[in-house]
């Protein structure tokens, strides 16, 4: 029996490629570096995918309406690795009856760990401390204007109380943080489990000392944090983002940080991805930046690969992936 064909717009790491090739015929672009830029356009990828049953994609592969329209009729499934699916035009995929899956839950613990790390780094001004340490100075930040903020006992506002938001709330209890949250479906069970309180978006923005974003990128969440919202935050507020870069209007954030309208930010995702982080943003001493590595652990990446394979297996065996988005 002929193997099902899976096309990918980029060359895969050897371990992942090996897993897939044990069961499937995997087509990768020639000459592309691992996880580097692969296909140059929709038509080129469509040619590679000719006859393929499914395609594999990462968060950095923009499968917009044009790319999906160009796909051959044989493609019935898009297997995406990662939690977010904002890189896929779901409406266009649905119109062509193409199923889409992601790999949720398996990265939850590492994402929550990274969130807590960013909270500590931003509140305690670790970016500035690191810069001083690089000069060889062993006793810097001795004056009050260079001191950070204590994390313990502050109010944490979580925007989006899904798997990751709840995992962050669980860890936050260890810091005796007062937890408030906003989510489309608050429940008494969440309140009880995390000693938390559901509030409206405006109340959260105005009262939280630390605001952590864990919402998906949708039209209604794009620039959710904008100039007007930043103006309502406490001057001592710290904002954390490991969700998606465009949830924050970075131009407005830069201005708020430069003018000390808010205290600091800890960011793992950026509005300009997959391009470079804005120079003005990474130069600010009150921003602690990570290069989208919240899920970059051996454990998370292995679990993501296994979940991806499980979704592909399920689709070809039953007609539906385990983690079906549409």
Q: Is 203 a catalytic residue?
A: no
Q: Is 271 a catalytic residue?
A: no
Phi then psi dihedrals of residue 197, to 5 deg: -135, 125
Q: Name the catalytic one among 273, 278, 280, 282.
A: 273
Residue whose tokens read 């804005």: 278
Secondary structure E strands in the chain: 5-7, 25-27, 54-57, 77-80, 99-101, 155-159, 178-182, 196-198, 210-213, 238-241, 264-267, 287-289
Q: Name the catalytic one among 244, 250, 271, 301.
A: 244
119: left (phi over 0), alpha (psi -120 to 50) or beta: alpha
Buried b vs exposed e over 234-253: b needs ≥16 C-beta within 10 Å?
A: beebbbbbbbbbbbbbbebb
| Burial class of 302 by CB neighbour count within 10 A (0 to 12, 13 to 18, 19+) | middle
Residue whose tokens read 């992936």: 321
Q: Name the catalytic one among 10, 154, 292, 307.
A: 292
Q: Is 292 a catalytic residue?
A: yes
| Burial class of 322 by CB neighbour count within 10 A (0 to 12, 13 to 18, 19+) | middle
Measured distance CA(86)–CA(290) in Å, rounded: 21
What does each C-alpha distance from 78 to 26, 65, 84, 129, 305 come to in angstroms?
A: 14, 13, 13, 44, 15
Beta carbons within 10 angstroms of residue 90's beta carbon: 16
Active site residues: 244, 273, 292
């Amino acid at each position: 029996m002929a193997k099902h064909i899976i096309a990918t717009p980029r060359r895969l790491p050897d371990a992942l490629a090996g897993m897939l090739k044990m069961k499937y015929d995997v087509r990768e672009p020639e000459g592309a570096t691992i996880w580097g830029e692969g296909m140059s356009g929709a038509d080129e990828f469509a040619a590679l995918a000719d006859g393929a049953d499914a395609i594999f994609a990462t968060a950095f592969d923009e499968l917009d309406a044009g790319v999906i329209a160009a796909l051959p009729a044989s493609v019935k499934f898009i297997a995406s690795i990662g939690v977010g699916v904002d890189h896929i035009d779901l409406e266009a995929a649905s119109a062509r009856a193409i199923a889409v899956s992601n790999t949720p839950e398996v990265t939850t613990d590492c994402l929550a760990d990274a969130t807590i790390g960013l909270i500590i780094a931003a509140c305690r001004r670790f970016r500035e401390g690191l810069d001083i340490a690089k000069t060889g100075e062993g006793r810097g930040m001795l004056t009050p204007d260079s001191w950070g903020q204590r994390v313990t006992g502050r109010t944490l506002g979580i925007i989006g109380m899904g798997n990751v938001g709840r995992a962050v709330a669980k860890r936050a209890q260890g810091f005796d943080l007062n937890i408030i949250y906003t989510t489309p479906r608050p429940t008494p069970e969440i309140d009880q489990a995390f000693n938390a309180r559901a509030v409206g978006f405006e109340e959260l923005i105005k009262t939280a000392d630390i605001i952590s974003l864990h919402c998906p990128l949708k039209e209604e969440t794009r620039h959710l944090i904008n100039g007007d919202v930043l103006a309502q935050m406490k001057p001592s507020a710290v904002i954390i983002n490991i969700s998606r870069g465009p949830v924050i209007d970075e131009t407005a954030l830069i201005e708020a940080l430069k003018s000390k309208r808010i205290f600091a930010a800890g960011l793992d995702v950026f509005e300009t991805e997959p391009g470079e982080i804005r120079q003005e943003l990474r130069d600010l001493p009150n921003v602690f930046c990570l290069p989208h590595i919240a899920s970059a652990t051996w454990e998370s990446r292995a679990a993501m690969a296994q979940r991806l394979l499980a979704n592909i297996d399920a689709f070809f065996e039953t007609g539906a992936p385990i983690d079906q988005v549409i």
